[in-house]
Homo-oligomer: A and B are copies of this chain.
Amino acid sequence: MKFARFLFLTSATAMSLGAMGVGASASELRETALEYFRPLPSTVPAVADNPITEEKIDLGKALFFDPRLSASGVFSCYSCHNLTTGGDDNMETSVGHGWQKGPRNSPTVFNAVFNEAQFWDGRAADLKAQAKGPIQAGVEMANTPENVVATLNSMGQYVDWFTAAFPEEGDPVSFDNMAKAIEAFEATLLTPAPFDAWLNGDDNAMSSDELAGLALFMDKGCVACHSGVNVGGEGYYPFGLIEKPGSDILPEGDMGRFAVTATVDDEYVFRAGPLRNIALTAPYFHSGKVWDLNVAVKIMAESQLGEALSEEDTDQIVAFLGALTGSMPEITTPVLPAETASTPRPRQEVIPN
């Protein structure tokens, strides 16, 4: 019962932080923060049912960058999860096959391995399940598992890479293994931030404004939904808990997690946005309708907490969010194999449903 947990956390937050206030000492603030947040680990995290190896990471990187995973040859995972621009595509909703627009804002791939589930409605349990979605979505990459496997099998280098990454399997080149390799690569996409350095004990890693913002973030109750290693991404909450935002921001046609669970309680419920690198990943919300982070913070405070934030409080919370902008991992572009005579050719036509 995520909703019940939210209410519990809200009142617990109010109790534990109300007395502490913004003026608490650094060590008190850190102690409280560590009740809600965890720093990024220094190593690649383990994922369920998919032991991560160097071979899988290398293969996954190749796949992540390969536009031939799309029917058209235009889009790769990288297209909408652009590693140069915060791991997303900096537009309202993504442009896909046939110039169609996707229904929701593309989330960042950085640190996504720490989300409880993937997609705005959590319909994929993990990154390997997520990876299969956009490849098959008609408005995104518009491909089929069969065509992907034929594409990969047509290039000897890919067959070798899959064999090295899945050495104990008789038929290593499969859609499932493609997804596992992509998950392995994505699990390496971690961006340690000043907030991590501060959580790890470096008092000088964050400015006084950023620390004041952190205290406010906990005091006001933002932490009720945005906690854990990703400062979000861990639970489901109704957007508009206290006051529903306008349909410009919360389009009526997108009922969120209701589409997954068919439970009335899940109407307009979404996974809390993970906030690492949020300063790099405008526009905001599942609808991608808000470009200004200050405005997004105010909307959240009103709709979820019923509070009109002052300009100063908003600025400080935004300063704290800036301390979640991490160092990007060094990524070298892979060298992909060339097509062969048996590689399926790009298909750019749009087939009506």
Contacts and interface: CB of A to CB of B under 8 A. Distances in A.
Interface of A: 62, 65-68, 72-74, 79, 82-86, 89-92, 95, 98-99, 101, 279-282, 291-292, 328, 330-336, 338-339, 341, 345-346, 348, 350
Give this chain's copy count.
Answer: 2
Given A66-B84, A291-B339, A338-B280, A95 B348 contact: yes
In the complex, the 9 A-B pairs of residues with the closest C-beta atoms, listed nearest first? A99-B99, A280-B338, A91-B346, A84-B336, A328-B335, A331-B333, A65-B84, A73-B91, A74-B95
B90 A68 contact: yes
A348 B281 CA distance: 19
B348 A99 contact: yes
The dominant DSSP class at the A interface is: loop
B279 A338 contact: yes
Contacts of A346: 90-92
Nearest to A349: B99
A334 B82 CA distance: 11
B341 A292 contact: yes
Contacts of A74: 79, 89, 91, 95
A62 B82 CA distance: 13
B89 A345 contact: no
A250 B67 CA distance: 27
Contacts of A66: 84-85
Contact of A84 (B79, B333, B341, B345): B333
A86 B68 CA distance: 13
A332 B331 contact: yes
A72 B68 CA distance: 22
25 contacts: A65-B84, A66-B84, A66-B85, A67-B89, A67-B90, A68-B90, A73-B90, A73-B91, A74-B89, A74-B91, A74-B95, A84-B333, A84-B334, A85-B338, A90-B346, A95-B348, A98-B99, A99-B348, A281-B338, A282-B339, A291-B345, A292-B341, A331-B332, A332-B333, A333-B333
A339 B90 contact: yes
Contacts of A279: 338
A330 B292 CA distance: 36
